[in-house]
Structures are given as C-alpha cells and as structure tokens.
Amino acid sequence: MRQSLLLCAAILCATLPLGIRADLLRVPDEYSTITLACEDAVSGDTVAVSAGLYHEDAYVNPGVSVIGMVPDSTEVHVSPLDYQGPFTILEGTDATLIENMTILGGLNPTFYNGNPNTVIKRCFIVAGDSGSYVAIVGADLTIKSCFIWWSSWSDNLFWFNGPFDVLIEDCVLRGNGLNYWNVPSGTRINLKNNTIDDSIYFYVEFSTDFSLIFTNNIMKYVQCGDVQPDTLEWRYNDFVEPGGWPNCGEQAGNFSADPLLCDPDGEVADYRLEPESPCLGAGENGEDVGARLGICWDPSGVGDEQASGLDSRLRAYPTVIGGDGCTLGLTGQSVDLSPAVEVLDVLGRRCATVTLSPRAGATFTARWPGTDDQGRKLPAGVYWLRPTGRTDVSTRVHIVR
C-alpha cells in the first residue's frame, strides 16, 4: 500500500511544473476530517477521502482536488457552523476539482464557488431544505456527470453573486416543485446533455443582458420571467411536457422520440439513458440527448451498495460488474478510437488494459473481467473504462465483491 501511494505521488509530481509539490493527503488515515486535510493542501495536492460519513466546513485552496475513493460511500454533510456549505472553494485560478462525493447541504448550500476554474464532477448533490440553495455561485462554474436533487418548493436552485458563466453537462436534475434561478445581468448559462425532471423558472430583473443555451436536454418545461434574454438558443431538446411562457423562445429543432422510451426502467427509473435508448445520437449534431448511463449494467448488488435511504429513483446508480465481466460498447465515432481501453481507478491510475474487438456497423466492444493485466482480481470499488488517448468517452464500473 505504501509503495502504491508513493508511486501515485510520484506520478502527480511528474505532471506538475518544477517547484510545485503534489501530495496525497488521506482522510481519515492521515487527517481525521476533510477540513483539516484541506487546510494543509496546496495547488497540485489531492485529498483522497475513504468511505464514511463526514461533517465538514472545508475551505478548498485553488489547484486542490478532493476525491472520494468510494464514491457511493463517501457522504459529506455540512457543518452547522458554516452557512456556505460543506465546501467553500476559495478564490484563485488553478484548476480545482470536487469528485465522487455525496454532498448534502440540508439547511445550507452544498458548496460555495469562488474559483472560475472549478469542476464539480460525478457527485450526488442534495440541497434545498427550507429555502437554501444547491450552490452559491461566486465565479464561473462547471458541473459534470452529477445527480442534483433539491427538495424545497419554489426557491432558488442556484444563487449568483454576480454575472458568471455556468456549464451543467451530462447531469440529472430532479426536484420538488417550481425552482428559480436568480440570473444577474451578464450571466451565461449553458445546459447540455441533461435530464431535467422538473420545471425551471429563470427570474431576471430589469435587464436582457444574459444568455440561456439549451443543447440536447430531456426536460419538462422552462419558464422565463417578464424579460427576454439577449441570447436564448434551443439546440435539439426534447420536452416531456408542453408548456412554458412564449418569451422563453421558440422550441425549434426538437425531435419526436418519446422520452419515456429513453429510460426503460419505468417506475424505478434513474433518469439516465440506457445503451439501447433511441435518444443516443439523436441530436442534430450527432450528440446524445439527456444524461447517459454507463454501458456496463448488471443490477445485482446495487441495493446493498446504496449509501443512503433516499428513494431509489433518485440515485445515480453505479454500474456493477457481472460474473461474466463487463462490456464497453462504442459506436459511430469508434472508427477513430485506439484499439486499447484503459481501466482507471478513482484517482486516475491505470489498473489494466483491454482490447477493443470490432463488430458490424463500426461498433467495437471490450470485455473486462475485473482483473489487472496479470489476471489478479481488483478490489471492490469504482473504476472507469476509457479508450486510450480519449477523455470524452468513458464507462463507469462498480465492482461488488
């Protein structure tokens, strides 16, 4: 274990400019809390958090990554002492990452962002009790591959402290009731490849100087305030329900596939697209529509791995490796792929390599039995299958032992 940690630290150091250290700060092995680890972490460091329940008011320095080692078992609640949430991301410009966490804000937001190069990724985010927000936005923000759930009726989903750019991509947004986004003048909001199972109301006061861009989403409907934005673009969205006020813009370019077919899980749907979904590749730009589920899917063991008592429909289910291994299928753009697929752990370390096999119709598959290159079984946890040299195509696999 010590050798592997030293190797990981060496790899991190090798990717950074001279003079910048890169440490792996382990919670709770070396630090009892995420908050204490973040106090010592500087740009380039990774705070690696083991499974557990944490109550935090962590201040994250620019350039620090906070990563859950076992995503569906790393649950972070807000400390009642901090109104900004479990994570306050401090001002700066170095790339900052929060990944593989279940973050619960309760009466508080889940995080405050003050860094324009922050990415929140592969997190399960719950907030909205009694008028709180999912997040307070104090700088540009990117949220990817997250499940965002809010419980409060008719309150702000995000609170903007100023005019910032926000990208929400490949996420599931599900809430209770009509929720407002308070949009200051100069704000730019881009929603891409999301499943939005609720109505959203954009509230703007006295200004048209803002932009709303919707690309390849599955959504109920959107309502706008009395002010028409300068820029409002609909790029191939599908609406589950008709409606919305006329000044939200023309809903041109929508396709006619029944959104109920996009996730055949029925009443226990997780709102992510299955491999056979007609919404995959349905967009006018050849993009998928809605949030995607990993190709590898075997429902056995999922129930035991859920970390909380939330309704199963609200969980962004991990994929579970079956007894015969897990298959990664790639179509369309597969002709440009390397024949090799890397298996990475949650810290991005390569654990194994598998080979793509061609099938008919420019489709390739790779089967991985859950072992390393020497045939040894890898421990339980979350892994990612990704074609060599590509960062935009990956499949999440959750090994249950």
- Whether 77 shows a pLDDT value over 50: the answer reads yes
CB 387 within 8 A of CB 337: yes
* Residue 49 vs residue 328, higher pLDDT: 49
Closest C-alpha among 108, 122, 117, 57 to residue 87: 57
- Count of CB atoms within 10 A of residue 131's CB? 11
Sign of CA dihedral 363, 281, 195, 158: positive
* Residue 302 vs residue 68, higher pLDDT: 68
CB 154 within 8 A of CB 131: no
Q: What pLDDT sits at residue 326?
A: 56
- Count of CB atoms within 10 A of residue 364's CB? 19
* Residue 26 vs residue 253, higher pLDDT: 26
Q: Which CATH number fits domain 321-401: 1.20.1270, 2.40.128, 2.60.40, 3.30.70?
A: 2.60.40
* Residue 242 vs residue 80, higher pLDDT: 80
Strand partners, 179: 200
Q: Round the CA-based radius of gyration of the chain to a whole number and report it.
A: 21
Query: Own/partner pairs for 22-28, CB < 8 Å, 24+ apart?
Result: 22/46, 24/48, 24/347, 26/50, 27/54, 28/52
pTM over cut 0.85:
no
Strand partners, 135: 111, 158
Q: What pLDDT sits at residue 58?
A: 92
* Residue 354 vs residue 282, higher pLDDT: 354
Confidence band of 308 (pLDDT split at 50, 70, 90) = very low
- Domain range list for the chain: 2-261, 321-401
Highest-confidence range of 121-125, 141-145, 215-219, 287-291, by mean pLDDT? 141-145
Rounded-to-5 percentages of helix, strand, coil across the chain: 10, 35, 50
Based on the number of CB atoms within 10 Å of its own CB, is 383 exposed (0-12), middle (13-18) or buried (19 or more)? buried
- Whether 239 shows a pLDDT value over 80: the answer reads no
Highest-confidence range of 245-259, 305-319, 345-359, by mean pLDDT? 345-359
Average pLDDT, the chain: 68
Query: How much of the chain, in percent, has pLDDT values that exceed 90?
Result: 16
Tell me 80's DSSP state: T
Confidence band of 380 (pLDDT split at 50, 70, 90) = low
Q: What pLDDT sits at residue 60?
A: 97
Closest C-alpha among 356, 331, 332, 359 to residue 343: 356
Kindly state the helix (H) or strand (E) to which residue 14 belongs, with its residue range.
Answer: helix 2-14
Q: Which of 25-39, 114-128, 244-258, 373-387 has the weakest average pLDDT?
A: 244-258
| CA atoms of 72 and 343, how far apart (whole Å) | 19
Fold exhibited by the domain 2-261: Pectate Lyase C-like (2.160.20)
CB 245 within 8 A of CB 223: yes
